[in-house]
Amino acid sequence: MEQLLVALDVDSSDRALALAEELRGQVGGFKVGSQLFTAGGTEIIRSLTERGDRVFLDLKFHDIPNTVAGAVRAATDLGVWMLTVHASGGYDMLRAAKTAAGDEGPRIVAVTVLTSLAGADFTALGIARPLADQVVALAKLSQRAGIDGVVASPLEVGAIRAACGPDFTVVTPGIRPTSAALGADDQARTATAASAVAAGASFLVVGRPIIAANDPLSAAKQLAEELRP
């Protein structure tokens, strides 16, 4: 299932590689985030890419343009397939990231508003516009800067598609199986895999519902089954 990316949010390279071995061929790639990268460093990325895996590096680069450009070049040298920056870094930072990646580098997606934020949490940041409007505004900014797509909750996918068109990549975390209680953890804006794809999601990022399952392979297959027409 090419659209399904599994978040290897574990605290050791050995555990990550064991999960990848179990799930390889059943999912579209693996996300390496800050937890695993801090534990395993660049070697975990090399270990996955050498096995032919697509690696989605989710470190959410957010710094001055020159620093982010350097980070993107380093990630490109590692052979990652896709990586994240923060859309709130602004146009110049986004443009620098895309320029550093070049035509042959990784796909770049910009994080809009974290899926853990909703309601009062978002208002407390001092942003006056509604959360969904902020997500769309950041998506449009990213598109103008040449970024390949964005990361947003499944609740905003339809609005992003309407604003940015059918070719813009939309990566959605906050995916929960139909058997799970949606919103039962620190992800505040969640939906099922089927509803996210129906809204226009390009890729689904799923962590705990798969990696914390008693049988991760069966959990991944169940999610894939939910996407069958």
Using CA atoms, how far residue 90 sits from 93, 100, 176, 217, in Å, is 6, 16, 31, 39
Partners of 206 in the beta sheet?
A: 6
The single residue of 60, 98, 140, 221 carrying the catalytic annotation is 60
What are the residue ranges of helices labelled H in the chain? 13-23, 34-50, 65-78, 91-101, 120-123, 131-144, 157-164, 193-199, 208-211, 216-226
- What lies within 8 Å, CB to CB, of 123 at 6+ separation is none
Say whether 98 is catalytic.
no
Q: Which residues are catalytic?
A: 60
